[in-house]
Amino acid sequence: MVTIRTVTLGVAEPHPLTANNIRRLSQDLRTIAARLHEAGYEVQTLRLATRPLLSDLADWPASAIERYGGELQAMLSEVEIAFCSLGPALAVEPAWPLDRLNLLADLLIANPALNASVLLASNAQGLRQEAAPLVARLMRRLAQETPEGDGNFRFAMLACVEAGCPFFPAAYHRGPASLALGLQSAPLLSQALETAAATRRPLPLEAISAIVRHTLEEQLRPLSILVNTLSEELHLHYNGLDLSPAPLGQESIVPALEACGYGLVGDPGSLAVAAAITRGLQSTTLPTCGYCGLMLPVLEDAILGQRWEEGRLHIHQLLLYSAVCGTGLDTIPLPGDSPEQLISALLLDVATLAIRLHKPLAARLFPVPGKRAGERTAFTSPYLTNTLVR
């Protein structure tokens, strides 16, 4: 049975949230998790996604927002909620004050449950180029001022990402209270594709898409029906399932890609396989939300990290794959002394691709403090694997 990576509750109330708000939301999350557990599903995390904090509190001074961040952290700790997304700073808007971006770093450095992002580009407003260096500076600061640079695990640049995605740090909310689920279905797809490839190899691209679509519909329809029922009972809007097969450690997406018979990840044909899997993800009849695309996070997927270490993958190759599949550049290990100009340029590449293709992409980059190119990371986080900095 597929593992549920995240149950994400979209918060309708504007900031500032109160202790009563947080307690009620926590109870709803635990009610949902209990029902899912009764039905046999493993739930890894419970999360809250709010409206964009810096928009709700646009007239608050920085010092008051920092105090509120600490109060929110305390409220979350009291109810044992470890993940809360504050939504994006809407830097894409021409009048949005870019000097407020430093506040996001202050909030994330001081409060480990908080996640945030910056919306650098949108289909409606294009790309705000002058914000990119400031976002790069923010990433460098998080690398230096959080343990092992893990603040960048909780921060991303977004481009054309809409509200309602359950995966962090991209998640944010607009509208009535809602419920969305993100899945850890990489092993499910690997098993299905490996079984099919045992009698036919390489698998035709159309067959790959059909196997992915059929597997997800068969395995996840009962879950979707249950979550829809729970949403109705709790008076929540049901956003749907983000079918992106999120990997974690040894539960890698690489076996699914390599089972199809086109070589190892990074070989010619990898782009075609990535597109075929994504077509399958995006062609189901299930209610869906968020990315619904192939995720290739180097530091979250042990085998992908191995392929990166072997030199089979590099940044622009992953950016190429994101043109046909998933989330952009995700958990990419960079040298700790990477210059602001390099990081800014990578952000512009991701944002430009998102606008050109009218698809949601993000950049979660990891300048690894104290590490140079060719050295190995030494993360102790249970959410990160280790590989070479390149």
Q: For residue range 212-265, list pLDDT tens digits in order.
A: 999 999 999 999 999 999 999 999 999 999 999 999 999 999 999 999 999 999
Q: Among 268, 337, 235, which Cα is nearest to 28's?
A: 235
Residue 327: pLDDT band (50, 70, 90) is confident
Q: Among 318, 251, 253, 242, which Cα is nearest to 287's?
A: 242
φ/ψ of 218, rounded to 5, equals: -65, -45
Instruction: Name residues whose C-beta falls within 8 Å of residue 317's C-beta, 6 or more positions apart in sequence.
Output: 266
Name the E strands within 276-341. 328-335
Q: Among 313, 326, 316, which Cα is nearest to 359's?
A: 326
* pLDDT (average), residues 272-285: 96
Instruction: Name residues whose C-beta falls within 8 Å of residue 58's C-beta, 6 or more positions apart in sequence.
Output: none
The Cα–Cα gap between 6 and 70 comes to: 24
Provide the Cα torsion 72, 73, 74, 77; round to 10°.
120
Q: What angle do CA 178, 182, 183 make, to 5 degrees?
A: 150
Q: Which CATH number fits domain 1-183+217-250+288-390: 3.50.50.60, 3.30.450.20, 1.10.10.10, 3.20.70.20?
A: 3.20.70.20
- What's the pLDDT score for residue 42? 96
- DSSP output for 63-85: HHHHHHHHHHHHHHHHTT--EEE
- Mean pLDDT, the chain, as a whole number? 96
Provide the Cα torsion 138, 165, 162, 99; round to 10°.
-20
> What tokens does 53 get?
């904090």
* pLDDT (average), residues 160-189: 95
φ/ψ of 3, rounded to 5, equals: -90, 140
Q: Which residue has the tokens 């990898």?
A: 270
Taking the whole predicted model, whether its pTM rises above 0.85 is answered as yes
Q: Which residue has the tokens 């399958």?
A: 280
Please, is 168 exposed, middle or buried when counting C-beta atoms within 10 Å of its C-beta (0-12, 13-18, 19+)? buried
Residue 97: pLDDT over 90: yes
CA distances from 369 to 111, 140, 142, 145, 366 (A): 20, 9, 10, 9, 9
Residue 303: pLDDT band (50, 70, 90) is very high
Instruction: Name residues whose C-beta falls within 8 Å of residue 18's C-beta, 6 or more positions apart in sequence.
Output: none
4 and 34 in contact (C-beta within 8 Å)? no
Instruction: Give residue-wise pLDDT tens across range 335-376.
Output: 999 999 999 999 999 999 999 999 999 999 999 999 999 999
The Cα–Cα gap between 312 and 199 comes to: 27
> What tokens does 341 get?
């100009």
Residue 1: pLDDT band (50, 70, 90) is confident
